[in-house]
């Protein structure tokens, strides 16, 4: 069945609406994304997975979890199944430069949501890649086993990470306790805060989309934000007023933490991200 047929079936069966048209939307690596215009004049976002590989039910779970447990603005999920995810169409565009203070306030609040251990109550996703989250008391152990070593092995098996870089990551992982201290406690993170996953109108963030949630050292969120320049100095200044950033984060730990998103990008895209992993390992002395 073509995607328009799947969307029409979904909106009629679950929302009692008739599909007028479905227009492709850019972005995302989970399924095919459309803006579906309905007979009532309402628009919804429809993600369609015809291949059965996108785990749309996990994305629906993460969005619902954020709406229940936090104040982060995320789309409401109207319906989810193996083949389709229907959710609220959120206003706003990709220019977030004027909304950095609001973003800092929202993410500082999110990072105040705690848990008894690192990980999550179930595995989640980053992109379409499974993100294992077994509850772990030690952050150093969790980051070592479930992020660095896991991704290095997955990317190597996919043929995108050379074996010599996998071996260097294993050496770093073996000495991770010398590079990291245990943080104050677990914090809920969005997990994938880059420009394509944030919407804003003027000075207000209207939505964070495509989450990759788990409970972590919140610095890993800040590191990822710095990696792709999602937000700049106004964000970090306001965030630091609400949740002080520990010394040496910008100079040292953010580079270590960014090995994880870089490995994710190596898995999906290869290319120059392999060089970025190599450069980070050089910088860290491994």
Position 225 scores a pLDDT of: 98
Position 29 scores a pLDDT of: 57
Query: Homologous superfamily of 3-88 in CATH?
Result: Phosphorylase Kinase; domain 1 (3.30.200.20)
What's the rounded Cα separation, in Å, for the pair 195 and 174?
A: 33
Identify whether the C-beta of residue 144 lies closer than 8 Å to the C-beta of residue 169. Answer: no
For residue 147, give both structure tokens.
């992020």
Smallest CA-to-CA distance from 225 within 238, 214, 236, 217 is with 236
Position 36 scores a pLDDT of: 96
55: left (phi over 0), alpha (psi -120 to 50) or beta: left
For residue 16, give both structure tokens.
């009692």
| 115: Cα separation from own chain's centroid | 18
pTM of the entire predicted model: 0.95
Position 27 scores a pLDDT of: 58
Position 52 scores a pLDDT of: 66
Name residues of the chain where pLDDT drops below 50. none
Smallest CA-to-CA distance from 90 within 61, 63, 130 is with 63
- Show the DSSP H helices in 83-149 as ranges: 100-110, 139-142
The string of DSSP codes covering 65-78 is HHHHH-----PPEE
What's the pLDDT tens digit per position in 223-257?
A: 999 999 999 999 999 999 999 999 999 999 999 99
Residue 1 burial class via C-beta count within 10 angstroms: exposed 0-12, middle 13-18, buried 19 and up: exposed
Identify whether the C-beta of residue 47 lies closer than 8 Å to the C-beta of residue 28. Answer: yes
**CB neighbours of 159 closer than 8 A, spacing ≥ 6?**
none
- Helix or strand run (H / E) with residue 242: helix 233-242
Q: Identify the three-state secondary structure at position 49.
A: coil
User: What sign for the dihedral angle of Cα 104, 99, 207, 56?
Assistant: negative
CATH 3.30.200.20 in the chain is located at 3-88
Query: Homologous superfamily of 97-284 in CATH?
Result: Aminoglycoside phosphotransferase (APH), C-terminal lobe (3.90.1200.10)
CATH 3.90.1200.10 in the chain is located at 97-284
For residue 245, give both structure tokens.
């950033």
For residue 176, give both structure tokens.
């991770």
DSSP for residue 195: G
Identify whether the C-beta of residue 57 lies closer than 8 Å to the C-beta of residue 80. Answer: yes
């Amino acid at each position: 069945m073509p995607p328009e047929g799947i969307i029409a079936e979904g909106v009629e069966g679950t929302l009692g609406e008739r599909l007028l048209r479905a227009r492709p939307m850019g972005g995302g690596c989970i399924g095919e994304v459309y803006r579906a215009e309905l007979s009532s004049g309402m628009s919804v976002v429809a993600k369609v997975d015809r291949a059965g590989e996108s785990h749309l039910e996990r994305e629906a779970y993460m969005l619902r979890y954020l709406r229940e447990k936090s104040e982060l603005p995320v789309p409401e999920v109207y319906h989810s199944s193996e083949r389709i995810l229907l959710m609220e169409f959120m206003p706003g565009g990709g220019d977030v430069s004027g909304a950095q203070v609001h973003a800092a306030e929202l993410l500082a609040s999110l990072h105040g949501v705690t848990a008894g251990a690192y990980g999550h109550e179930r595995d989640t996703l980053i992109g379409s890649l499974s993100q294992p989250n077994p509850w772990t008391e030690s952050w150093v152990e969790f980051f070592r086993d479930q992020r660095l070593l896991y991704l290095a092995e997955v990317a190597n098996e996919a043929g995108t990470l050379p074996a010599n870089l996998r071996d260097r990551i294993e050496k770093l992982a073996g000495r991770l306790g010398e590079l990291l201290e245990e943080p104050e406690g677990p914090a809920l993170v969005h997990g994938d805060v880059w420009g394509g996953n944030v919407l804003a109108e003027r000075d207000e963030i209207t939505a964070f989309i495509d989450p990759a949630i788990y409970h972590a050292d919140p610095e890993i969120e800040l590191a990822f934000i710095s990696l792709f320049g999602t937000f700049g100095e106004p964000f970090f200044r306001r965030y630091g007023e609400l949740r002080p950033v520990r010394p040496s984060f910008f100079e040292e730990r953010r580079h270590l933490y960014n090995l994880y998103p870089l490995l994710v990008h190596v898995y999906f895209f290869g290319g120059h991200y392999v060089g970025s992993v190599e450069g980070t390992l050089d910088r860290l002395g491994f």
